[in-house]
């Protein structure tokens, strides 16, 4: 091609280049944006496509935090177990990795309704039968399995239904054999509270204040994780609460967030360790 012909093509080439640049800009402006997923481990805070993509990316563990709605004496709100289970499940999911956290289970066995027994003797408690509770957990776990989660982790913040969590895990693991999924019941999460944490409190000068329910440990954990649920001012000014008020043993009046944080750290560490040593070998995702 001669120089004259080349010079003749230059204006046309510039025009095409300009048109293509403009077209690219228009397409970029109107193309659907690929939003970055939010920095959360909460299943309920994600869209269905974000959950699908998280599973495909290896987040195949789902933690079901089990709480319970019950009286906890005059100075702790009835959502205590729900708040604690959810907050600690988030910490466990982040520390363990490749995990999401399901909505908290707030309806659990808390006693009979006719006659009223256990915590159902007090206002503010919600109870379902053990059979209903087991069915609820089993159906929820099955929902997670069919959408691609390979491990369902059960953690429970209340002592009364731990045997039910174990039974659900055993039943589903038998049912799911050969399907590439399993349930891990983490007993260690709850066992810390009456075990290592209570021992630690006694060793640090609080032997007389440790009881069984709504005591120093219960109240301190709540102050560490969600202090808005504790009526601190009324608690400090109160006489020693009694079983008639829903406080079983111990003395919660000297509870503190610092004492509670020690227990919370123990629970998180125990749960993460149990997940990392999952006997199925699927220890991370």
Q: What is the 3-state secondary structure (H, E, C) of 195-256?
A: HHHHHHHHHHHHHHHCCCECCHHHHHHHHHHCHHHECHHHHHHCCCCCHHHCCECCCHHHCC
**CATH number for the domain harbouring residue 272:** 3.40.50.10310
Q: What is the DSSP string of 13-47?
A: HHHHHHHHHHHHHHHHHHSPP-PPPPS--BGGGS-
Helices 162-175 and 130-146: crossing angle, nearest 10°?
Answer: 40
Is 24 a member of any domain? no
pLDDT in tens, 67-78: 999 999 999 999
Band of pLDDT at residue 96, cut at 50, 70 and 90: very high
| pLDDT tens digit sequence for 125-175 | 999 999 999 999 999 999 999 999 999 999 999 999 999 999 999 999 999
Report yes or no on 227 lying in a domain.
yes
- Span 7-22, average pLDDT: 54
- Alpha-carbon torsion (207, 208, 209, 212), positive or negative: positive
Q: Which two tokens stand for residue 192?
A: 């810390």
User: Rounded CA gap, 163 and 270, in Å?
Assistant: 19
Cα→Cα distances 27→23, 36, 143, Å: 6, 20, 39
Instruction: Tell me whether residue 36 is in a domain.
Output: no
Report if residue 5 sits inside a domain.
Answer: no
Residue 9 lies in a domain: no
Handedness of CA 71, 75, 78, 82 (dihedral sign): negative
Q: Which helix (H) or strand (E) holds 183?
A: strand 182-185
- Structural domain contains residue 19: no
Domain, as residue range, for 225: 43-276
pLDDT over 60 (residue 274): yes
Residue 13 within a domain: no
What distance separates the 2 farthest-apart alpha carbons in the chain? 105
In a domain, 12, yes or no: no
Percent of the chain with pLDDT over 70: 86
pTM value is 0.86
* H helix intervals, 46-151: 48-56, 80-96, 130-146
Tell me the average pLDDT of the chain.
90
Q: Give 65's contacts (C-beta < 8 A, 6+ positions apart).
A: 85, 86, 88, 89, 101, 102, 104, 105, 155, 157
pLDDT, greater one: 17 or 153? 153
Q: What's the CA gap between 196 and 246, in Å, rounded?
A: 24
Domain count along the chain: 1
Spell out a b/e string for 18-31, using b for 16 or more CB atoms within 10 Å of the CB, else e. eeeeeeeeeeeeee
| CA gap 154, 62 in Å, rounded | 9
Q: Which residues pair with 230 in a beta bridge?
A: 76
Residue 165 confidence (pLDDT): 98
pLDDT at 45: 97
Distance in Å from the first CA to the final CA of the chain: 63
């Amino acid at each position: 091609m001669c120089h004259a012909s080349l010079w003749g093509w230059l204006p046309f080439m510039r025009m095409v280049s300009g048109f293509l640049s403009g077209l690219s800009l228009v397409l970029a402006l109107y193309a659907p944006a690929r939003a970055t997923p939010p920095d959360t481990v909460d299943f309920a805070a994600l869209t269905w496509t974000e959950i699908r993509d998280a599973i495909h990316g290896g987040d195949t563990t789902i933690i079901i935090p089990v709480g319970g709605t019950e009286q906890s004496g005059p100075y702790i709100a009835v959502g205590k177990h729900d708040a604690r289970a959810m907050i600690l499940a988030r910490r466990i999911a982040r520390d363990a990795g490749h995990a999401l956290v399901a909505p908290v289970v707030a309806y659990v066995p808390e006693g009979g309704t006719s006659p009223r027994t256990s915590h159902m003797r007090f206002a503010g408690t919600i109870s379902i039968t053990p059979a209903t509770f087991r069915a609820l957990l089993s159906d929820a776990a099955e929902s997670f399995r069919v959408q691609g989660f390979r491990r369902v982790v059960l953690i429970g913040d209340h002592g009364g239904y731990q045997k039910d969590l174990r039974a659900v895990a055993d039943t589903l693991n038998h049912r799911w054999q050969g399907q590439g999924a399993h349930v891990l019941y983490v007993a260690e999460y709850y066992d810390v509270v009456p075990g290592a944490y209570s021992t630690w409190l006694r060793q640090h000068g609080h032997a007389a204040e440790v009881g069984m329910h709504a005591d120093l440990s219960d109240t301190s954990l709540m102050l560490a994780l969600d202090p808005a649920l504790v009526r601190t001012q009324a608690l400090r000014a109160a006489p020693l609460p009694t079983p008639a008020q829903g406080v079983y043993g111990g003395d919660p009046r000297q509870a503190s967030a610092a004492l509670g944080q020690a227990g919370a750290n123990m629970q998180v560490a125990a749960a993460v360790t149990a997940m990392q040593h999952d006997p199925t070998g699927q220890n991370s995702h």
